[in-house]
Amino acid sequence: MAYIRRIPSGLYQATVRLPNGKRRTKTNRLKSVVDKWARDLEAKIAQGDTRDPRAGQIKVADWHARVVEARVVEAPTKAKNASLWKTHCLPQWGDWPMAAVQRVDAQRWVGQLQETRRARHQGKPADFFDDPDEIPTLAASTIHDIVYLMSTLYRAAMKEHPPLVVANPFGDLDLPRKNATQVEFYERTEAEALYAAVERLHGPKWRTLVELGMDVGLRPGEAYGLHGHRVDWIRGLLSVVEVATRQGLREYPKSMKSNRTVPIPAKTLEGMSRLMVGRPRTALVFTAPDGGVVDDGNFRDRIWYPAVEAARLCGNRSPLEAGDGETFAAGECGVICDTPAHGIRRFPPRIMRHTAASWLVQAGVPLYDVQGLLGHESFATTTRYSHLAPDAHDKVIAAWRRRGEMPAERQPG
């Protein structure tokens, strides 16, 4: 209920108490004016439409700290968001009042992000490269993630009662288009060359891990987090339960469909069984050199990429494996092969998963079964591989053949 009084100056003053306990006042020489203002404000309070204009003066960085403290998110997501915030959002928006950011400011920032080069490239920091042009700009998907992070902050501010801000300047921006990428995978000859290089450089344990990824399509974290008691050694099956993340082991996989039981090729199962000899049944199947959980970054930089560089389709060794005093001819193939054409394509470890799906679809395995094996939450993700099916274009080709066999007078003009 509003309180109206006449103050010593002769003016009328209306006072309204806000839901947060604070008061707002208005003064005018006419009582009817302050009375109408008070009734309108009370109506807005009843509808939840009122806010303190000063609430929007909170700095973006301060509001981000409050939101992060209050939100419940997975540790990997929290780490990713923290990195995006520190690298891209904080330097630009940290000192801005929440209410001061306009859509035009946010859109200009998106343009700047499109010209920003990545902080890391091919597993190396940006300052490793002498020529900045070697470093690509931020991917469209990364820009979407950055803008989504800022939009999340403003949506949270608008949900407060009363709201801190009344508009989200990051909510409807023109963002770069995320183009569909071609599905890449290793051919079998490349995979065999990679298996051999991994074993030569790092031993049979790591070859077994790569074979498991190439055939079964486990995510790297699912392979790193695999425990011996999750493997049915008699039936040749494994259950995906624990997953290794950069923040440690997580006792559940990425999504509901990721929690699955999948078969293991006999040769790979045999290699895994050798790794468990003399160890507890509940131990990790694959461990880091110090016995702990395999670190994704260490595997990529110390195991995977050196093996990719050393792999040779001709079966010979690479210059990386040349011994002391051992010579080779540059650009030529011999006992030590330096022929670029005999190398394999450079892909990150996630290519193992794409390779597994591609090989299965090429072999005629139905997409639904591939979805179950890989644990795709959405069937649309699996359909990316549909063009690899052996009968993917049979009807189109048959139609062409029928058209070619038509009599000339029946062929469409």
CA atoms within 13 A on the CB side of 409: 0
Chain segment 87-121, per-residue pLDDT in tens: 999 999 999 999 899 999 999 999 999 988 877 76
pLDDT for residue 344: 94
Please write the tens of the pLDDT for every residue from 286-338.
999 888 899 988 999 999 999 999 999 999 989 888 888 788 888 888 889 98
Q: Is the distance from CB of 248 to CB of 296 less than 8 angstroms? A: no
- Residue 43 pLDDT: 83
Residue pair 271/209 in contact (Cβ under 8 Å)? The answer is: no
pTM: 0.71
Q: How far apart are CA 276 and CA 398, in angstroms?
A: 52
In CATH, 57-159 is 1.10.150: yes
Q: Residue for token digits 């929290």?
A: 78
Q: What is the pLDDT of residue 413?
A: 46
- DSSP H helix total and E strand total for the chain: 16, 10
Q: How far apart are CA 287 and CA 224, in angstroms?
A: 7
Instruction: Kindly report each contact of residues 358-361 with a partner whose C-beta sits within 8 Å and lies 24 or more positions away, as own/partner.
Output: 358/183, 358/185, 358/385, 358/388, 359/185, 359/188, 359/214, 359/215, 360/217, 361/385, 361/386, 361/388, 361/389
The whole-angstrom separation of Cα 201 and Cα 142 is 34
H helical segments located in 276-323? 296-298, 305-310
In this prediction, residue 351 carries a pLDDT of: 94
Q: What pLDDT, on a 0 to 100 scale, did the predictor assign at position 33? A: 93
In CATH, 188-373+382-387 is 1.10.443.10: yes
Residue with tokens 């109506």: 43
Q: What token pair was written down for 134?
A: 């070697």
Helix residue ranges per DSSP H, 88-228: 90-93, 103-114, 140-159, 188-202, 204-216, 220-224
Quote the CA–CA distance of 218 and 260 in Å, as a whole number: 11
Reduced 3-state DSSP string for 174-204: CCCCCCCCCCCCCCHHHHHHHHHHHHHHHCH
What is the predicted pLDDT for the residue at 51?
Answer: 57
Counting as low any pLDDT under 50, the low residues of the chain are 410-411, 413
